Amino acid sequence: MGHTSESSWVPSVTLLVGVGNEGISALLLGADGRVRGDADMVFEGQPVHPSGAVRHTKQSLSLALHEVEPEVERIVIAGPAVSGSLAAMAPDRQVVVAWLIARPDDAKAVVFGEFFRESGGWKFTGIGKGYASGLAELVTAYGVEVAEEEPVAAPAERAFPGSMEKPVAEAAAASPVNGPVPLTGVAKVPMHAAGMPGSTGGEDRKSWAGGVGEPVAPDPSVFPPAEREYRLLEGWEFGPVFEPFTVTGRGSDVITTPARVPAGPVLFEVAHRGRGHFAVVPLDKRNKEGASLFNTTVPDYRGSTVTPAPQGRPLRLRLIGENDWVARVKPVAAARRLERAMVGFGDEALLHLGGAADLRVDFRGSPGGGGSIALWVHEVTGQTELTHVGRTLALNTSDRILQTVPLPPGPALLLLIAEGPWSLTVRELGF
């Protein structure tokens, strides 16, 4: 394929985008040409956008253009100044973008190009704009707030996400105060600082965890039965109460909930036997696909989340898989309660009814290496649906971590998105 010209159409599918450099990053911009917040920057240190539509994977980005939120008008692709080419590959392995990169003189960071919406589809245009001052200048131009930080001795080429981890970790380890290095919206504190696995300092992990034990993957020989016992959490009022709905199948199919599942937030559980790609996508009133609830290649996958059942019509979901699966729709009150110490694997919805607490998260990565984890906290008092009100992104990172995040007092719904085994330990603050 020849070189892509500016403003060329691209298919609205999942594209794998790379420039042959680990520092590649994406900025998701609104109609005003600016990010909406820190989470709209995706790079190695913050590898998954909250929507799940943009992910950082090794030396490339995965852009699910058909799942990008409507509020996002442009996706800027940037990285450290290099010469070479930017390429985007569709799922059928066809290269749909091939853009030559010429390194601007004296630039430390470059905007390679951007994907943007037009007439209901997506286009790509090459840019090649350089920024002499590096990352901070580039991201500031798109609305990312970069706080001042203590100077760290590091080569100039370490000024872009993906190559900042060592200097930031050194700054965190050297700081007498626990907490993140003040670099807002650019790099989260690496999880290898004091108190993390492999460090020489910090509290003892076993004494803090209180004997929670090692998080383990589910036994692949065990497939969940079609029906299993459940109980409603007393005192939980978010979401309707109804008789659960269970369906089993094999391969790809579309399921429709019966009339007994009313409108409002519901718990959706799923299990897929064996290996292969597995995804669950809700269908809107026009029978078109929305953003994925699950999209994984983890073997013998099990997960749960909360999704809205629509008003005036049944909830319809497309399941994309290769093997046997079980799907269940239940009241949110049937989700597992966040307890003092618990283990799990993969995505899970959890209910928090306790007071303000510190939550210790131990994530061991995916079984094949790497992996990412994110945690959304929804304060649900007075709410009838999941909205931006009272919602906090408490955690969003990749690889192995051992990190403490603050939790507000309940009732709160925790949506954990993880590509591997995890353990949680709760320490209530008592005030």
- Per-residue pLDDT of 354-385, as tens digits, reads 999 999 999 877 766 667 889 999 999 999 99
Look up the domain containing 55 and give its range: 8-140
Closest listed residue to residue 415, CA positions, set 384, 377, 380: 377
Closest listed residue to residue 109, CA positions, set 61, 164, 189: 164
Rounded Cα gap, residues 128 and 126, in angstroms: 6
Task: Tell me the CA distances in angstroms from 70 to 28, 295, 388, 397, one per residue in order.
Answer: 11, 20, 15, 24
Regarding whether 34 and 129 lie in a shared domain, the answer is yes
CATH of the domain at 327: 2.60.120.380
Q: Does 222 reside within a domain?
A: no
pLDDT at 266 (0 to 100)? 97
Q: Does 77 reside within a domain?
A: yes
Tell me the two tokens of residue 165: 């981890």
Regarding whether 120 and 33 lie in a shared domain, the answer is yes
Domain boundary among 300, 315, 334: 334
Q: Does 188 reside within a domain?
A: no
Instruction: Give me the number of domains the chain comprises.
Output: 3
Percentage of the chain modeled with pLDDT above 70: 75
Tell me the two tokens of residue 41: 């920057």
CATH of the domain at 78: 2.60.60.30
Q: Does 392 reside within a domain?
A: yes
Residue 318 has pLDDT above 80, yes or no: yes
Regarding whether 316 and 346 lie in a shared domain, the answer is no
Q: Does 318 reside within a domain?
A: yes
Regarding whether 367 and 408 lie in a shared domain, the answer is yes
Regarding whether 406 and 286 lie in a shared domain, the answer is no
Regarding whether 370 and 326 lie in a shared domain, the answer is no
Regarding whether 325 and 280 lie in a shared domain, the answer is yes
Tell me the two tokens of residue 251: 């391969």
Rounded Cα gap, residues 231 and 216, in angstroms: 25
Q: What is the residue-averaged pLDDT of the chain?
A: 77
Radius of gyration for the alpha carbons in the chain, expressed in angstroms and rounded: 22
Regarding whether 26 and 136 lie in a shared domain, the answer is yes
The most confident of the ranges 21-25, 171-175, 282-286 is 282-286
Q: Does 2 reside within a domain?
A: no
Place of tokens 């303000």: 356
Q: What is the pTM of this model?
A: 0.55
Closest listed residue to residue 372, CA positions, set 359, 361, 383: 361
Regarding whether 373 and 257 lie in a shared domain, the answer is no
Place of tokens 């959304």: 376
Regarding whether 311 and 289 lie in a shared domain, the answer is yes
Q: Does 88 reside within a domain?
A: yes
Strand blocks (E) in 22-94: 25-29, 41-42, 54-57, 60-64, 74-80, 84-89
pLDDT digits (tens, 9 = 90+) for 37-52: 888 999 888 888 988 8
Rounded Cα gap, residues 158 and 380, in angstroms: 41
Tell me the two tokens of residue 261: 């599942």
Which DSSP category does 334 fall into?
G
